[in-house]
Amino acid sequence: MAGKERAEDLTGRARIRDAALLEFAERGVKGATIRGIAKAAGVSPALVQHHYGTKEALRQACDEYVLAATREVKEESLQGGMASPGFMEIAMRTALPIQRYLARALTDGSQAAATLFDDVVAYTREVLETGRPGVAKPSTDDLHAYAAVMTGMSLGSFVLNEHLSRALGAGVLTGEGYPRMALAMIDIYDDRLLSPELAAQARAGLKSMLASREQSPSEENR
């Protein structure tokens, strides 16, 4: 993706999809309309229906694009893209509309949002399981939980974008605020805040709690 525009992004179909991303992000799936998306894309409503049929089909196309684009940018960054001049600028321009879309989709409470989250968890687990250059395999005995919590922490920053933006003094879903938030995330991943002793104590206590609950029914089920 870096350094080149894909041919599909020059088509009317892609323009409609990009306009839909922003309309869904702004108004939600319920509030967005075919007419509004067509106006934002600079095409007729008939052309939107010709390419996608229904609003739900267009939403599904947006979900598929978000997953594919997210995977592509992450894979390229992990394969050395971050060392290329201008990569971060191009990646950020790709990511910001996607992040706005995710921020709205994940709070809409739809089945589509649940599927989207689960797909990101599956991709995160795949990366952690198979490994990538520059990324160490995690030392955990519950890789699924590790991937799910990592996904929640990452996507949660989009859901909480208003609060983060207020705290940082700039919109984190804009070119001004996003780099500062991303730098903080890298610092968090790079730091080891807990001493090995404190981490071991916390793990032992939590694993003991899990073991005791497995051996006896929880109070909620009594």
Across the range 150-165, mean pLDDT stands at 91
pLDDT the model gives residue 35: 95
The pLDDT of residue 222 is above 70: no
Partnered with residue 132 across adjacent β-strands are 135
Across the range 74-97, mean pLDDT stands at 71
Of 33-42, 71-80, 81-90, least confident by mean pLDDT is 81-90
The pLDDT of residue 20 is above 50: yes
pLDDT the model gives residue 22: 92
pLDDT the model gives residue 41: 92
- DSSP annotation string for 159-187: HTHHHHHHHHTS-TTSTTTHHHHHHHHHH
**pTM score of the predicted model:** 0.73
215 CB neighbour count, 10 Å cutoff: 7
pLDDT the model gives residue 84: 65
Of 104-108, 152-156, 157-161, least confident by mean pLDDT is 104-108
The pLDDT of residue 129 is above 60: yes
Residue spans of alpha helices (H) in 32-177: 34-41, 45-52, 55-78, 87-105, 111-130, 143-159, 161-168
Tell me how far apart the terminal alpha carbons of the chain are, to the nearest angstrom. 55
Q: Identify the burial level of 180 via C-beta atoms within 10 angstroms of its C-beta, where 0-12 means exposed, 13-18 middle and 19 or more buried.
A: middle
pLDDT the model gives residue 133: 77
What are 46-57's pLDDT values in tens digits? Answer: 999 999 999 999
Q: Are 158 and 102 in contact (CB under 8 A)?
A: yes
Between 142 and 220, the higher pLDDT residue: 142
Q: Are 2 and 91 in contact (CB under 8 A)?
A: yes
Across the range 5-24, mean pLDDT stands at 77
Most confident range (mean pLDDT) of 40-44, 82-86, 91-95, 133-137 is 40-44
The span from the CA of 151 to the CA of 94, in Å, is 19
